[in-house]
Amino acid sequence: MKRAPKGSQRRRQTGRKSATTKVLYVEHDDDNLYMLKTRLERCGGFEVLAAEDSEQGCKLAVTEHPDVILMDLEMPVIDRWEPVRTLKKDPRTRNIPIIGMSAYAEASEREKAMTTGCDEFDAKPIEFESLITTVRRVLAKPK
């Protein structure tokens, strides 16, 4: 009798690969989107969903229920704080941690992000190892 590949037991129970973190990255800049998505997927343990605008990001959060959301706070068209508020008000998405990201690295930007509903804040340009540490820290917090 053939044995199932390692980890398949968990896959059958949960429907997802073991030790895979589902990340939703909401970013309007194609270069930033490609760079971070590629790096996360190459480092292993991450499945990355991409949304090019806040509306698409909110829809994906509801349908895909990611483990964490990386949200560019400098999105065009919509008030940049509205997607965070929307996700935190919705019972289907309120417990998904959101890491707000912005090129404005002042303390006031971080404070505004946190009071609006972000669970953490990271400045751009992204320092990859620091972001990974932040993602792991946010995921380790009790919900």
Tell me: the pLDDT tens digits for 71-91?
999 876 677 789 999 999 999
Q: Answer yes or no: are the C-beta atoms of 53 and 28 closer than 8 Å.
A: yes
pLDDT at 8: 36
pTM of the model: 0.84
- Residue numbers of the chain with a pLDDT score lower than 70: 1-18, 76-77
SS3 content of the chain, % helix, strand, coil (to 5): 45, 20, 40
Write down all domains in the chain, each with its CATH number in brackets.
20-140 (3.40.50.2300)
User: 90-106 as b/e, with b when 16 or more CB fall inside 10 Å?
Assistant: eeebeebbbbbbbeeee
Residue 133: what pLDDT?
95
- Angle between helix 82-89 and helix 107-116 axes, rounded to 10 deg: 30
